[in-house]
Structure 1
């Protein structure tokens, strides 16, 4: 995760610092819920929030196992996915099943794929793809090692453009505590 390296450095240096992290895939209202901050992809941060980049740009990857591709042809364009068994993602932030998003030369496409499996969790989607149960649309960094080791095959890479990565966000009208300032500064991404 993007938080782990900062926490590994910050916590030993500040043993009096206490941090509570809650994982919620919904678009939680951090102000109403009483949280100091949240983490979202850059495009999902509300305009009235201060956003601090905490990770690099990201790319998605469409992957399937060699066993899957022994049975089905590789898709060449996103519309080919309609003939495949795709492993869907249910996200409360998108009101149901997530549409797979593609872009090439400023042409943007959203494809609502079909398949036998729907999960709300990355690990289960990855496991299903590794077992040959369908194609998965996953963050590139999570599947790269599997692709390099031949356990997964990537397709449609030329349709998966980079997008704004993770940001820490918090209300602009709030005075930051010294502890929050330490946490924010430890997370700040620089390339």
Structure 2
């Protein structure tokens, strides 16, 4: 009879049994001539030092572990354990088998973890967003995304122009709902947007307050030029269920929404903006709304992406976090 050997396992071998447990349960300890099944029982018993502890680790009965080990011993033609009433120790053959199979078990662990990590969010997530989405969406979400998924790198292109995602190799974009193409999948990020005509208190004190859209002819407007088409934006209004637009006069033109707000705050004229883009300025009294009864409402900001991209773990992670973070902020 051989002498007993230490049964300590190197590294992360105990984790191996966690991966085996589901497999063993599926097999329901059927005693088929399966060497992997016998080896799982052998490794568990060798590490635990008893069949009872090994059974608890694998989620089966001690008798099932004992029978599985016995079947393996019969197949190999040699005993693997020295059995006592309290513990089991390894024979020379058992120690030799452990020395050969423990590294293999470690390789299996590594393979399982590699496959699992392949499903975890990782890689570069490229997003195109309008400037108004930076404080509303990017600032609260990206820190949370990096904390939760450090393997996801992020590149954000801030631009108000409408972008072809495939040509520019973006994974997704954020835009106002009405500008999202119909063949894209769209996920709502914000409430609906009500447009607002705003001005600083100083401007209104000097120039007066317009009471109707036609009064804009006597005011100074800060105009917005579309980056894609180069056209000047015509201010849109509603009256008695009818939509119409106005081309107000103004000497200042810009294609950047943030600068538009800055100039309005500085008292340089009236600006036509999304209400969610100037919530802080309105609350602080830096800007004042006018012509409120004439302003329409439009769908809010949406994340959009092609159908083929929705299975990407990195994009799913962004969507899930965006919903959590933005819901909590409301």
Task: Tell me the TM-score normalized by structure 2.
Answer: 0.54
2:298 match: 163
Q: Give the superposed CA RMSD.
A: 2.0
Partner of 2:251: 116
Q: How does 1:31-50 map to 2 (within 5 A)?
A: 31-50=166-185
Q: CA deviation at 1:114?
A: 1.5
Aligned twin of 2:190: 55
What SS is found at the alignment partner of 2:225?
strand
CA distance in 2, matches of 1:148, 1:6: 23
Q: Are residue 8 (structure 1) and residue 139 (structure 2) matched?
A: no
**1:4-153 matches, cutoff 5 A:** 4-153=139-288
What number of residue pairs does the alignment pair up? 191
Q: CA contact under 8 A between 2:264 and 2:271: conserved in structure 1?
A: yes
Work out the CA distance in 1 between the residues paired with 2:278 and 2:305.
30
Measured after TM superposition, the shift of residue 134 of structure 1 is: 0.9
CA–CA distance in 1 between the matches of 2:234 and 2:226?
10
CA displacement 1:133-178 (0-9 Å, x = unmatched): 1111122233333334333221011122321011111112446221
- Contact (CA 8 Å) 2:195, 2:295: kept in 1 or not? yes
- Is the contact between residue 236 and residue 296 of structure 2 (CA under 8 Å) also seen in structure 1? no
Query: What displacement does 1:93 show?
Result: 3.9
Larger RCO, structures 1/2 (Cα 8 Å, 6+ apart): 1
How many angstroms apart in 1 are the aligned matches of 2:231 and 2:195? 19
CA positional deviation for 1:33:
1.8
How many angstroms apart in 1 are the aligned matches of 2:251 and 2:143? 39
Structure 2 gaps, min length 5: 1-135
Relative to the length of structure 1, the TM-score reads: 0.89
Q: Distance in 2 between matches of 1:175 and 1:118?
A: 38
Structure with greater strand percent = 1
CA contact (8 A) 1:26 1:91 kept: yes
